[in-house]
Amino acid sequence: MRKKVTLKQLARELNLSISTVSKSLKNDPEISEKTINRVHELASFYNYKPNALAVSLKSNKTKTIGIILPEILNHFFAKALYGIEQEASNNGYKIVTCITNESYKKEVEYVEMLNYSSVDGFIVALSQETQVLNKFDHYQALKRENVPVVMFDRVSEEIDCDKVIVDDKEASKNAIEYLINTGCKKIAVITTISDLSVAKLRLEGVKEAIDINAEVTLIELPLRDSQNVEAEIEKFLNNNDLDAVLGLDETAAAISINMSHKLGYKIPEDISVIGFTDGLLSKHSYPKLTTVSQHAEELGAKAAQILLNQLDDFEEKHISKTEVVKTSLIVRDSTN
Amino acid sequence: MRKKVTLKQLARELNLSISTVSKSLKNDPEISEKTINRVHELASFYNYKPNALAVSLKSNKTKTIGIILPEILNHFFAKALYGIEQEASNNGYKIVTCITNESYKKEVEYVEMLNYSSVDGFIVALSQETQVLNKFDHYQALKRENVPVVMFDRVSEEIDCDKVIVDDKEASKNAIEYLINTGCKKIAVITTISDLSVAKLRLEGVKEAIDINAEVTLIELPLRDSQNVEAEIEKFLNNNDLDAVLGLDETAAAISINMSHKLGYKIPEDISVIGFTDGLLSKHSYPKLTTVSQHAEELGAKAAQILLNQLDDFEEKHISKTEVVKTSLIVRDSTN
DNA sequence: ATGAAAGCGCTAACAA
DNA sequence: TTGTTAGCGCTTTCAT
């Protein structure tokens, strides 16, 4: 194993002290130009790079941020991760990604593990179980140690930290209004994620939008068994003579479209469909899905920006802010 | 900022030396039981955890593996990442994820960055540009330094390292044969990823499967502009009276399905469609797509296993192996 | 049974 | 202009 080159070795070969070499590499003006050049030459000959671990230990900074995600197969989080990664790497930060799989226990484990000097700060979207249990001790601990945390999308009011969320309430309100405006009267809201904070907000928006002329029915379906979800939605669509469906997640909308086909309903003539999360399914459904875009990538990027700012100019007393990213309704072919 | 607890502080409070505390925490038999208990008590009171950085610097191990991925919005890689993450975290490893966005330059940067003591080893899927340019110096450097690397899916013969690949050739061969067996004669192969090693293999499989009774046409479409891809596929389907389409990537297959609807073709009665990558699009297309599953999750998990094995029992002379993961054709509703 | 000391690779205050 | 030294937090060998 060809060992990595260290300052020590460079120093020995050049007959200089370690500190002189170190300073030379930083072009410290107190070192003679001649020495600086000699050092740079040998360093680049050996392709010297400082040992990141040692630098981190010394500086107490790792240039790494920890990302806690509930899921990665979900396009929304994948896009957010993409946005985070871009922003981080553009600023010389690495990311370490942990996937909790919606488990509280894993979330706690990950946060604790990363907090032992592996990362400078966290970007978090809470797991479903954590939201249900409402237990946030692991974040209080970070707070106490003054470790910067930015939460996005899946947040909790009980945690005092910067947050980036989507105006979910407004979004579903707009969606329902759009449906009503295009003549839909009997509208169903289908959700497979009722435990989540975002679902609750979306539901609130729905309620606000309910018009005297329209009848909005709500159905919640458990996600556990995806076979069932399809059958349930099919049955539901068949039993109710609906004008429109608002799916509170992308899958619900996609399945609604497909079950409508199966039942022989024409979209959007017989039934309109709107979904959430402008992911692959929305773009490649037939007809293309009208959908609420949450701008996941910007969301992730924004969360990263906020965190990086906090890491750069660290203030002892930080006042938490919540930033709301506007959604937009992307009208495609599944609505009138 | 409440500083993190260190051995030093524990030692001071307990009136012991740092080394005694360190040993106690490891239940070293040469320390008296009484002392061990005292130490453990205070440690857990302060919720002491060793500083990962210091441990890494000392041990020259980071318990972290670097993942280099060309894309994350692609379901295949997201699933593979999921498999890797599971396997890694089950074995006490963290992962740091880098997304090259198919760029050679970013790939080189990431590999170099992580190699400076941030990770113990790498799991890599090559970027498209790297495969086109055929430049692998950054991996030769790792080889020289004896840093374990496992590549998966997007690999190169020119790099000597462990690999996990999918039997792409066999997979497309089987897919074509399936189409032929179900009575399809005029078959098109649509690919938007012709630059990739995997596409070439899949194409080889197609050729092997060509039967005297069937006529197989090949069309390659550039991925750059997705608007165009749809229009091109529509035009193509319209101009050719096809019995079946094999999409060499999931998107191509999904679009083929949708354009068939648009043209009024019934699936699978008028035209059969098979895709690659058993992702969300395949499960939520209508009709559900018959598809080649590459078992991305297992692929990722296997890559991680191989890497972790190598990290555990390090042998000076390691002989590189290539593991082939079998694909399977998941027959759903888009074929006869 | 406990402690002192060296060292992982680096930075930086201080000395020469 | 260059070098010495201490220290980041930990492990480990070698005294005591």
Query: Which nucleotide minimizes the distance between its C1' and the CA of B11?
Result: C3
> CA–CA separation, A304 vs A300, rounded Å?
6
Q: Which of A47, A77, A93, A94 to mutate to test the interface with B (most CBs of B within 10 A)?
A: A94
Q: What is the pLDDT of residue B310?
A: 92
Token pair 């179900």 in the structure block, residue? B182
Instruction: Judge whether A79 and A111 are in contact, CB under 8 Å.
Output: no
Instruction: Judge whether B184 and B214 are in contact, CB under 8 Å.
Output: yes
Residues A127-153: tens digit of each pLDDT: 999 999 999 999 999 998 889 999 999
> CA–CA separation, B205 vs B14, rounded Å?
70
Instruction: Please indicate whether, in this complex, the C-beta atoms of A286 and B78 are within 8 angstroms of each other.
Output: no
Token pair 């479409």 in the structure block, residue? B221
What are the CB-based long-range contacts (under 8 Å, 24+) for B6-10?
B6/B51, B7/B50, B9/B46, B10/B39, B10/B42, B10/B43, B10/B46, B10/B48
When CB atoms are compared, the residue of B82, B96, B255 closest to A96 is: B96
pLDDT-derived band at A326 (thresholds 50, 70, 90) equals very high
Q: What percent of chain A has pLDDT over 90?
A: 79
Q: What is the pLDDT of residue A222?
A: 58
Q: What is the pLDDT of residue A137?
A: 95
Q: What percent of chain A has pLDDT over 70?
A: 95
Q: What is the pLDDT of residue A227?
A: 67
Q: What is the pLDDT of residue A159?
A: 96
Residues A185-201: tens digit of each pLDDT: 889 999 888 888 888 89
pLDDT in single tens digits along all 336 residues of chain B? 567 899 999 999 999 999 999 999 999 999 999 999 999 999 999 999 999 999 999 999 999 999 999 999 989 999 999 999 999 999 999 999 999 999 999 999 999 989 987 899 999 999 999 999 999 999 999 998 889 999 999 999 999 999 999 999 999 999 999 999 999 989 999 988 888 888 889 999 998 888 776 777 767 665 555 668 899 899 999 999 899 999 999 999 999 999 999 999 999 999 999 999 999 999 999 999 999 999 999 999 999 999 999 998 766 678 999 999 999 999 999 999
When CB atoms are compared, the residue of B57, B73, B144 closest to A78 is: B73
Instruction: Judge whether A161 and A143 are in contact, CB under 8 Å.
Output: yes
Name the residue among A290, A232, A236, A292 with its Cα closest to residue A265. Answer: A236
- Whether residue A318 is predicted with pLDDT greater than 90 in this model: the reply is no
**Residue B49's closest chain A neighbor by CA?**
A116
**Residue A316's closest chain B neighbor by CA?**
B1
Lowest mean pLDDT among A11-20, A122-131, A285-294, B1-10: B1-10
Q: How far is the CA of B31 from the C1' of C2 (A)?
A: 8
**Residue B287's closest chain A neighbor by CA?**
A258
Instruction: Judge whether A74 and A278 are in contact, CB under 8 Å.
Output: no
When CB atoms are compared, the residue of B64, B97, B258 closest to A284 is: B258
Instruction: Please indicate whether, in this complex, the C-beta atoms of B98 and A94 are within 8 angstroms of each other.
Output: yes
Q: What is the pLDDT of residue A229?
A: 87
Q: Which of A7, A97, A102, A137 to mutate to test the interface with B (most CBs of B within 10 A)?
A: A97
Phi first, then psi: give them for residue A177, nearest 5 degrees: -60, -40
Instruction: Please indicate whether, in this complex, the C-beta atoms of A280 and B280 are within 8 angstroms of each other.
Output: yes
Q: How far is the CA of A296 from the C1' of D12 (A)?
A: 49
Q: What is the pLDDT of residue A216?
A: 77
Q: What is the pLDDT of residue B225?
A: 58
pLDDT-derived band at A70 (thresholds 50, 70, 90) equals very high
Q: What is the pTM of this model?
A: 0.92
Query: Sheet holding A186-191: strands in order across?
Result: A215-220, A186-191, A244-247, A272-276, A290-293, A328-330
Most confident segment among A9-13, A223-227, B116-120? A9-13
Q: What is the pLDDT of residue B19?
A: 94
Q: Mind giving me the DSSP string for B47-86? A: T----HHHHHHHHT--SEEEEEES-SSSHHHHHHHHHHHH
Which secondary structure element, helix H or strand E, spans residue A308, and what is its range?
Answer: helix A296-312
Min CA distance, B86 vs chain A (Å)? Answer: 8
- Whether residue A166 is predicted with pLDDT greater than 60 in this model: the reply is yes
Average pLDDT, chain A: 92
